Amino acid sequence: MSPTTYIVGAGGQLGTALRARAAAGADVRALTSADVDITDASSVTAALAGLRAGDVVLNCAAFTNVDGAEADPDGSYAVNRDGPTHLASSTAAAGAWLIHVSTDYVFAGAAATDAGPRRSRPYEPDDVTGVPETVYGASKLAGERGALGADPTATVVRTAWVYTGGPDSPDFVGTMRRLESQRDELTVVDDQTGSPTYAVDLAAGLWELAAAGPRDGIAGAVLHATNEGSVTWHTVAQAVFTEIGADPSRVRPCTTAQFPRPAPRPAFSVLSGRSWAAAGLTPLRDWRSALHAAITDPGPALDTLTP
């Protein structure tokens, strides 16, 4: 009997992309929040009752509202810490493999509004995380530790700045596409640097990882997977305008201090892809090529899929 892959958080941005990129004939079980409450251990046990040795659980469920987490830390920790810990307990008991998706926000870094020198070297998985400055980052870091503590063979994959980019998508790229037709000019922060990651590319990478299996260098490891390259949000917005045939000079730069948010944003949160390549996995393409594909050749509409 072929292994089954359970996608937890199958109704979200990445979960939808994972379903779209699943190989034909693969045994995939999509679990949305209507199917399992990962904050409840008994709900997880029930939803994964058929889990067997060799099966894979891909967890992309998360409380991702960075500002909302500041107002609801209990909710953030319930999903981002307790959820993956419950899933890891089930995979450990069954002899299955958990792949848990995490974030660049687990690193403390420096807030974009802080004075002083800025980091310029991409983060490696073994770099000290420090104490994250946001509830979201702290809860995701606790989730990494909870998952690996409950199942030492689990694999954590950190990523960053994920988007699908459709014209109706609520992510940054989709928002820029909509605002272009609504405003003469936009002002976008130009002092936060990261790696935009196309959800479809990340999904393809996660499927490659799942196919590789929990071998040495992967089982129990923390890996980083983003599209290659690093830019500011302002540069991304200008690139979006260019792709849709608009004048990129209509996007004006500003500082984070001029655009305050409840949760502090890191000045630099670029993740190094060396660990991904060292594990024998295909590096994700450069961010600019990925953005072009997202806007000009997105393939089937991800939001038309049903779990």
**pLDDT tens-place string over residues 109-136:** 777 677 666 778 999 999 999 999 999 9
E strands of the chain, at which residues?
Answer: 5-8, 28-31, 56-59, 97-103, 155-159, 162-163, 186-189, 193-194, 197-198, 222-224, 231-232, 251-254
Q: How many C-alpha atoms does 159 have within 13 Å on its Cβ side?
A: 27
CA distance 77 to 64: 11
Each residue of 200-247: pLDDT tens digit?
999 999 999 999 999 999 999 999 999 999 999 999 999 999 999 999
**Measured distance CA(120)–CA(111) in Å, rounded:** 14
Q: What is the pLDDT of residue 186?
A: 96
**CA 266, CA 41: separation in Å to the nearest integer?**
33
Q: What is the CATH number of the domain that holds 156?
A: 3.40.50.720
The yes-or-no verdict on residue 304 having pLDDT over 60 is no
Q: Which pLDDT does position 139 carry in this prediction?
A: 98
Q: Could you tell me what percent of the chain has a pLDDT over 70?
A: 95
Eight-state DSSP code of residue 167: T
pLDDT of residue 118: 74
Cα atoms in the Cβ-side hemisphere of radius 13 Å centred on 192: 24
Tell me, yes or no, whether 38 lies in a domain: yes
Is residue 299 over pLDDT 90? no
Taking alpha carbons only, the member of 181, 290, 298, 164 closest to residue 239 is: 290
Render pLDDT for 40-80 as a digit per residue (tens, 0 to 9): 999 999 999 999 999 999 999 999 999 999 999 999 999 99
Q: Does the pLDDT of residue 199 top 60, yes or no? A: yes
What pTM did the predictor assign? 0.95
CA distances from 2 to 5, 26, 27, 56, 279 (A): 10, 8, 7, 11, 24
Distance of CA 255 to the CA centre of its chain: 25
Backbone angles phi, psi at 68, to 5 degrees: -60, -30
- In sequence order, which residues have a C-beta less than 8 Å from that of residue 304 and are 6 or more positions away? none
134 domain-assigned: yes
Q: Is there a domain that residue 292 lies in? A: no
Q: Give the pLDDT of residue 109.
A: 78
Residues classed as catalytic: 136
pLDDT tens-digit readout, 150-167: 999 999 999 999 999 999
Which bin fits 299, alpha (ψ -120 to 50), beta or left (φ > 0)?
Answer: left
d(CA 47, CA 37): 9
Q: Which domain holds residue 223?
A: 5-164+195-229+268-286
For residue 307, pLDDT over 50 is answered with no
Give the total number of structural domains in the chain.
Answer: 1
At 38 the three-state DSSP class reads coil
Q: Strands 155-159, 162-163: parallel, antiparallel or unpaired by DSSP?
A: unpaired
The reply to whether 272 falls in a domain is yes
Residue 300 structure tokens: 């089937």
- What is the mean predicted confidence (pLDDT) over 133-153? 98
29: phi then psi, degrees, rounded to nearest 5: -120, 115
Cα 288 to Cα 199: distance, rounded to the nearest angstrom: 14
Tokens of residue 78, six digits: 């319930």
Residue 120, pLDDT score: 80
Confidence band of 285 (pLDDT split at 50, 70, 90)? very high
Q: What is the mean pLDDT of the chain?
A: 94
Paired tokens of 86? 């419950």
Q: Which of 85, 125, 88 is nearest to 103 (CA)?
A: 125
Q: How far apart are CA 168 and CA 178, in angstroms?
A: 8
- In angstroms, the first-to-last Cα distance of the chain is 23
